Amino acid sequence: MLDVDAMVWSADEDQRGGRSLVVLLHGRYGTEQDMTRFFPALPDGAVGVSLRGPIPWSDRWAWAPEWTDDGAAIGEIRAVIDDLLMWIDGLRGFGPVKLVGFSQGGSTALQLLQAAPRRFAAVVQFCGFMAPELTGPDDELRTARPPVLNIRGGQDTAIPADLADYTSDWLRQRTALTELIFQDTGHEITAEMIAATADYLR
């Protein structure tokens, strides 16, 4: 279950009404504080909320359990997606909702988009992936073709190149894709990535 009390907002509750919402999702072994660095880059009129993954990972958090060859993690991953959608659908008083995710948070954002392609105004995912095992029905996604910014690091060794290529192809066939590759960047959040995200969300 999502920890609502752990969520970090960029604005006080009485200043959020009517504004568009940017939901920020950290990577594996992350915390809700990791993505607050995006708050200063949010567009005017937007409010951000950085969430904590619901699955303990050592002394931090994740959006998915350890993957095993038997695929046992898939059920838990889908339960997390269902919980996130339930929370998002329960929000009131906000404008369009956009997603920003890093690494495993990027994968989570893409799964949310696959599950509810008309729910999100845009998605930014960087250093993340869509695993073939997690793909599902996508007729609505192919019809809606929501805007997605896919950011890759040319020196990213955490995400195998073939999985990153698969993700790019998967997005290209189903979304209005914009892709950026920072050739000298690894598996990390950089100032250039934050700036690119800010430009895309405006």
Q: By C-alpha distance, which of 118, 65, 62, 60 is closest to 88?
A: 118
In this prediction the pTM is 0.96
* φ and ψ at residue 195, rounded to 5 degrees: -65, -40
Per residue in 50-68, pLDDT (tens digit) is: 999 999 999 999 999 988 7
Strand order in the sheet with 8-9: 8-9, 46-51, 20-25, 97-102, 122-126, 147-153, 176-182
Q: How confident is the model at residue 70 (pLDDT cuts 50, 70, 90)?
A: confident
Per residue in 82-103, pLDDT (tens digit) is: 999 999 999 999 999 999 999 9
Residue 152 exposure: Cα atoms within 13 Å on the Cβ side? 21
Per residue in 137-147, pLDDT (tens digit) is: 999 999 999 99
- pLDDT above 90 covers a percentage of the chain that reads 92
Q: Where are the domains of the chain?
A: 4-201
Instruction: Give residue 72's pLDDT.
Output: 77
Instruction: Give residue 69's pLDDT.
Output: 75
Mean pLDDT of the chain: 96
- Looking at residues 105-122, what average pLDDT do you find? 98
Cα(191)–Cα(177) distance, integer angstroms: 22
With a cut of 90, say whether residue 130 has pLDDT above it: yes
- On whether the CB atoms of residues 134 and 167 are closer than 8 A, the answer is no
Domain 4-201 top-level CATH class = alpha beta
Instruction: Give residue 121's pLDDT.
Output: 98
